[in-house]
């Protein structure tokens, strides 16, 4: 049985933990020595691990302690816009300076390029196209908060055929159960979710890429003075890491594709005999 002192210590700890969690998820980030960053990727995914390593190194060089907070796609960006967090790990440029996100700033370094594919269940050995799903009146899902996909779908099909879904795992379960007939999202994230589904999983495959988007680190406008140091440090860190190691295959593969081609040295002319 716990003593009076043990109960008191436990209550103090629970109170402290509650305040800490509230600070991360719902209170304005005001600590001068830390930077609270939301991230919409599951912690076990390769992209989350690579982004975590990159940003921890970058912010450490700038003298800031990074606090990385995994959360849902929509909350990851709304918490920054509302000032509850300092930045978001990856977003498209199209989202910035629009409506509720007008107070966000994009660090001008392309961190990654994402392909948003339409995933559809294979039926009778055939993979329907997204056009066939739409023509047949099927429901097309996207992850809530994925603004670029939301806009693309609303440009293509009727509003009543579009379903906003919270969480990739939930979307895969809905697709497997025929509650939606297609789901458009980041390819790597969906493939990771499919690989970790339990039970008898039906064949679900990509029916093609709908959107390709460059992704950036986004910060709240109160960090305007951090833009230039962040840009410089991101460029330096990516250059150093991606030239010397394959530790970050996703980020470095994209980074190397953006590098200008190395020019072959001009051959030295052979002197002609006199």
Closest C-alpha to 95, from 104, 87, 86: 104
State residue 269's pLDDT score: 56
d(CA 138, CA 190): 20
State residue 9's pLDDT score: 43
Q: What average pLDDT does this structure show over 99-118?
A: 92
CATH number, domain 114-213: 3.40.190.10
State residue 270's pLDDT score: 58
Strand, helix or coil at 217? strand
Domain with CATH 3.40.190.10 in the chain: 12-113+214-258, 114-213
State residue 257's pLDDT score: 77
- Strand 162-165 relative to strand 140-143, pairing: parallel
Name residue 234's beta-bridge partners: none
d(CA 77, CA 37): 10
- 97: pLDDT strictly greater than 80: no
Percent pLDDT > 70 in the chain is 81
List pLDDT tens digits, range 15-36. 443 444 444 444 444 445 899 9
Residue 5: pLDDT band (50, 70, 90) is low
List pLDDT tens digits, range 48-58. 999 999 999 99
Are 197 and 172 in contact, with CB atoms under 8 Å apart?
yes
Residue 272: pLDDT band (50, 70, 90) is low
State residue 253's pLDDT score: 82
Q: What average pLDDT does this structure show over 185-207?
A: 90
Give 46's contacts (C-beta < 8 A, 6+ positions apart).
188, 192, 249, 250
Whether pTM exceeds 0.75: no
State residue 262's pLDDT score: 42
Q: What average pLDDT does this structure show over 151-171?
A: 93
- 100: pLDDT strictly greater than 90: no
Closest C-alpha to 147, from 40, 62, 47, 224: 40
Dihedral of CA atoms 182, 186, 187, 189 in degrees, nearest 10, equals -110
The pair of structure tokens assigned to 44 is: 């076990």
Name residue 250's beta-bridge partners: none
Question: What integer best gives the mean pLDDT of the chain?
Answer: 84
The pair of structure tokens assigned to 115 is: 């392909």
DSSP H helices in 102-158 = 130-135, 147-156
Class of domain 12-113+214-258: alpha beta
State residue 161's pLDDT score: 97
| 246 vs 135 pLDDT, higher one | 135
Name residue 92's beta-bridge partners: 215
State residue 162's pLDDT score: 97
């Amino acid at each position: 049985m716990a003593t009076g002192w043990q109960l008191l210590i436990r209550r103090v700890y629970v109170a402290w933990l509650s305040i800490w969690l509230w600070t991360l998820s719902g209170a304005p980030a005001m600590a001068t020595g830390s930077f609270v960053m939301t991230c919409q990727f599951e912690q076990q995914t390769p992209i989350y691990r690579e982004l975590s390593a990159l940003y921890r190194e970058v912010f450490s060089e700038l003298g800031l302690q990074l606090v990385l907070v995994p959360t849902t796609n929509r909350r990851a960006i709304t918490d920054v816009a509302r000032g509850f967090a300092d930045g978001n790990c990856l977003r498209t440029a199209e989202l910035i300076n629009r409506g509720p996100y007008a107070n966000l700033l994009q660090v001008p370094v392309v961190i990654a390029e994402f392909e948003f594919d339409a995933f559809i269940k294979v039926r009778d050995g055939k993979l329907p196209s997204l056009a066939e799903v739409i023509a047949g009146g099927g429901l097309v899902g996207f992850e809530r908060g994925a603004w670029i996909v939301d806009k693309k779908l609303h440009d293509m099909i009727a509003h009543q055929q579009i379903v906003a879904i919270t969480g990739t795992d939930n979307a895969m379960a809905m697709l497997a159960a025929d509650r939606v007939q297609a789901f458009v999202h980041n390819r790597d994230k969906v493939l990771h979710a499919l690989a970790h589904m339990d039970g008898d999983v039906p064949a679900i495959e990509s029916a093609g890429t709908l959107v390709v988007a460059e992704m950036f680190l986004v910060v709240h406008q109160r960090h305007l003075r951090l833009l230039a140091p962040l840009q410089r440090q991101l460029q330096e860190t990516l250059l150093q890491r991606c030239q010397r190691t394959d530790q970050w295959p996703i980020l470095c593969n994209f980074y190397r594709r953006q590098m200008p081609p190395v020019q072959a040295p001009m051959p030295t002319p052979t002197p002609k005999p006199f």
